[in-house]
Amino acid sequence: MNYIDKVRTVEKVYKRKPVLIVSAPGRADFLNTHQDYKGLPVVPVAINLRTYVFSLGAEKDKFIIDSLNLRKGGSRYRDKVPLKDISLVRGKWFGNYLRGVLLAFKEVFDFEPDKGLRIVIYSDVPIGSGLASSAALEVAFGKMLDEFYGLKLSPKDLAEACFYAENGICKIPCGRLDQYSAAFGEAILLYPKPPVKVEKLPLKGLKLVVADSGIRHSVADIHPRRQSEINRGLQELLSMPDVPERVKEKLAPRFDEVSWEELSLEELSPFLQRID
C-alpha cells in the first residue's frame, strides 16, 4: 500500500482528514551487528518500509493513539495517555514505546504540553523482523511531537531522546543504532559511544536488497541473552590465570565496561576457544 492509499484509508476509517503526517524508516543492520551497545562503530541503512504517524488534531487533556495495524488485525489497538502523571502499563503493549517517548521528552526537553493529540499509526515495518520497528515507531511519534509543538529538534536530539525512551525508560537494553538510523535516514556510520558522532555515507548507484529470513527477532528478547553471553565469556577470560595482565586491564566483568576499541582479536584468540 503506497502513501496515498494509507492517507485514504485513514480518512475512510476515521472520517477525518489528517492535519499533519510524519514518518520514519525501518533499517537494515548493514555492518557490525551487536556492536552498538558495546560502544563500537556500526553502519545502519534505512529501508523503504516506514512507520507513518497521522495527527487528526488536538485533544483537550490526553493523547489518544490508535494502531491501525492492530485494529485491522482485530487486536486491542487504542491507548489513552493523560497529559500528566504518565506511566508505563504492565506487559507488552505498543503504547509503552510512545509513553516512553513522552516521558523522555518531558525529562530531556521539559516538554509539558497544554493539549494532547489524536494520533493514528500505520506501519509498513513488520514487527519482530529485525528491521527496528520499535525505533521507527518512537522516532516517527517523536517527530510528530517535534513538528506539532514546534520543538525544533535536530535529528541527533530526536534520536538521543528516543534511545533514552527505549533504553532508559522502557528498560530494553538496546544500543543507539536503531533510533539514529530512523532519525537520520539513508546510510550512516555511527560512533555510538558518547560523545556520539554520525557520518553520512554516500549510496549513489548502490542498490541493496533485504530478504526476509522468517526468523522472529525482538530486541527485548535477544539483546539481554546476547549481553549475558558476552558477560559470561568476559568473566571466564578474567578468571584464566594465563591471560596477560595487560589484556585483563582492558577487560571487565560487564560488556559495557570493556575497552573494546583497545582490544585486538590477535591478543584474545589464544583464549577464546577455551570459553565454554
Which whole number is the average pLDDT over 202-230?
80
Q: Which amino acid is at 65?
A: I
How many domains does the chain divide into? Answer: 2
> How far is Cα 42 from Cα 188, in angstroms, rounded to an integer?
8
Kindly list the distances between the CA atom of residue 141 and the CA atoms of 101, 119, 145, 199, 205, in Å, as whole numbers in the listed order: 8, 9, 6, 24, 31
Residue 235 clears pLDDT 70, i.e. is over it? yes
Look at 179 and 205; give whichever has higher pLDDT.
Answer: 179
Residue 229 clears pLDDT 70, i.e. is over it? yes
Whether residue 174 is found in the same domain as residue 250 = no
Look at 226 and 220; give whichever has higher pLDDT.
Answer: 226
Look at 122 and 35; give whichever has higher pLDDT.
Answer: 122
Residue 242 lies in a domain: yes
Residue 203 lies in a domain: no
End-of-domain residue from the set 141, 170, 188: 188
Whether residue 179 is found in the same domain as residue 229 = no
Q: Which of 36, 178, 221, 276 is catalytic?
A: 178
Residue 229 lies in a domain: yes
Whether residue 175 is found in the same domain as residue 242 = no
Residue 176 sits in a domain whose CATH number is: 3.30.230.10
Q: Is position 212 annotated as part of the catalytic site? A: no
Residue 116 lies in a domain: yes
Residue 216 clears pLDDT 80, i.e. is over it? no
Which whole number is the average pLDDT over 172-193?
95
Structural domain boundaries, residue 257:
219-272
